[in-house]
Amino acid sequence: MKDMMSYKGYYGSVHYSDEDGVFHGKIEFIRSLVTYEGRDVKGLRKAFENAVDDYLELCAQEGKEPEKPFKGSFNVRTGSELHRKATLFARAKGTNLNKVVAEALEKYLPT
């Protein structure tokens, strides 16, 4: 994945500030703001991993469940006509809208 790192199931962005001369990023796909920076790629990678570890440790200390980047549910805004078509399709197939959307995504996305 371009401009992203992964560690322990978390994803971090990779950006460069020419003005500051640093690489920087944040843990993506969670609500908490967790940032990191480094002077070079190796330093950025280490800072990202430390940020994830620190986040997980802080959650444990506070007795909080850490946010997961992908919970398995999301809202999709399709417009009323596509919503209607998908719902009627699901009904005709004897299934539900969630199953139709999941199957469509499985067919559309590469493995």
What is the distance between the terminal CA atoms of the chain, rounded to a whole angstrom?
14
Please give the structure tokens belonging to residue 100. Answer: 């139709």
Please give the structure tokens belonging to residue 41. Answer: 């790629």
CB–CB of 17/25 below 8 Å? no
pTM value is 0.82
Name which of 4, 7, 108 is nearest 56 in CA terms: 7
Q: What are the structural domain ranges in the chain?
A: 4-62, 73-111
53-94: pLDDT as tens digits: 999 999 999 999 999 999 999 999 999 999 999 999 999 999
